Amino acid sequence: MEMLNFAFMQRALLAALLVGIAAPAVGIYLVQRRQAIMGDGIGHVALTGVALGFLLSANPVWMAVLVSSLGAIAMELIRWYGKARGDIALAMLFYGGMAGGVMIINLAPNGSNANLTTYLFGSITTVSAEDIVAIVGLSVFVLLVSLGLRRQLFAICQDEEFARVTGLPVRLLNLLLAVTAAVTVTVAMRVVGLLLVSALMVIPVAAAQQATRGFAATLGLSVGFGVVVTLSGTVTSYFVDVPPGASIVVLAIVLFGVVTALAAPLARRRFRAAHPGGTGGKDSREDLRGEGGDASEADGGKAATGARGGVRTDGAAGTDRPSRV
């Protein structure tokens, strides 16, 4: 416990805790919409914001929030109107953000690419008191949106058309989710770095999917996994002297492998208990995939049915089996 005697480690652990909660709380919606790579794209755009902060002598975190939010809105507009060439536009936005950051940082007084390193790969031990204030404020915003509007966000992630029919402001919610993802990226960039932040938003959720079946359970477990890997990675970086961002992501991948290995036998056991006369053929294998948490088309239909029964986060309405994320 001697590390708690150092102020920089106190700030580092607090930042890791907040990021561990916020990143999976937003990532679960991106995974549900099959937009897991969105966090990586926003990270590229946020680099331009960081560089502008150095150029204008402003706080890089707040400039990154502004620029990445605008970039996330642009991504959402491209998704609506881009159609066939939307992927090309997104690619230009992603790589343009990275190139813009490198160019602008070299125009800043005493600026160089080295200034971007801590933001690209994370440097949690250099988090300042000012950074903590920004991280706390942004994390509160992220949690208010992702948890306070979980029913509405779950509805648009499951079935946008049905959500629109029920009267939900789908486009406004989509924009809000995009901005919340951008804020999450800027919160996490000091911990795991812009190049690795998408992993922290996705891997804990993917691990939780292997062990849970309902949306609420998956959300809770993914946040728990996020906290475990961020705190463990931070402590590991202190004792082993390795980069904290890399250690957090590696531990998250290890956790995913362990949960997957443990979840498969449990899924088989549940299936055999429910189908004692099963033949173990193709249908059985498909059911096992569903039991493991990897939503199939049939399961997606049941989840949508649950949403139509009255948007429920646990998916219980309209079906006797909880919808899964």
How does pLDDT run across 287-308, given as a tens digit for each residue?
A: 444 444 444 344 444 444 444 4
Q: Does 319 map to a domain?
A: no
| Best mean pLDDT range from 11-25, 191-205, 306-320 | 11-25
Determine, yes or no, domain membership for 294. no
Q: Containing H/E element for 179? A: helix 170-188
How many Cβ atoms sit within 10 Å of the Cβ of residue 308? 18
- 72 located within any domain: yes
**CATH (domain of 67):** 1.10.3470.10
Higher-pLDDT residue of 212 and 66 is 66
Residue-wise pLDDT tens digits, 11-65: 888 988 999 999 999 999 988 888 777 878 888 888 898 888 888 888 888 898 9
Question: Is 219 a domain residue?
Answer: yes
For residue 282, being part of any structural domain is answered with no
- Contacts (Cβ under 8 Å, ≥6 apart) of 265: none
Domain membership of residue 123 as a residue range? 7-269
Q: What is the pLDDT of residue 314?
A: 43
pTM: 0.76
In this structure, is residue 286 part of a structural domain? no
Q: Please, are residues 313 and 204 in contact by the beta-carbon 8 Å criterion?
A: no
Asked if residue 280 is part of any domain, the answer here is no
Q: Which structure tokens are listed for 3? A: 């590390």
- Spatial CB neighbours of 95, under 8 Å, sequence gap ≥ 6: 44
Q: How far is residue 76's CA from residue 64's CA, in Å, rounded to a whole number?
A: 18
Using CA atoms, how far residue 308 sits from 6, 28, 208, in Å, is 52, 20, 25
How many domains does the structure of the chain reveal?
A: 1
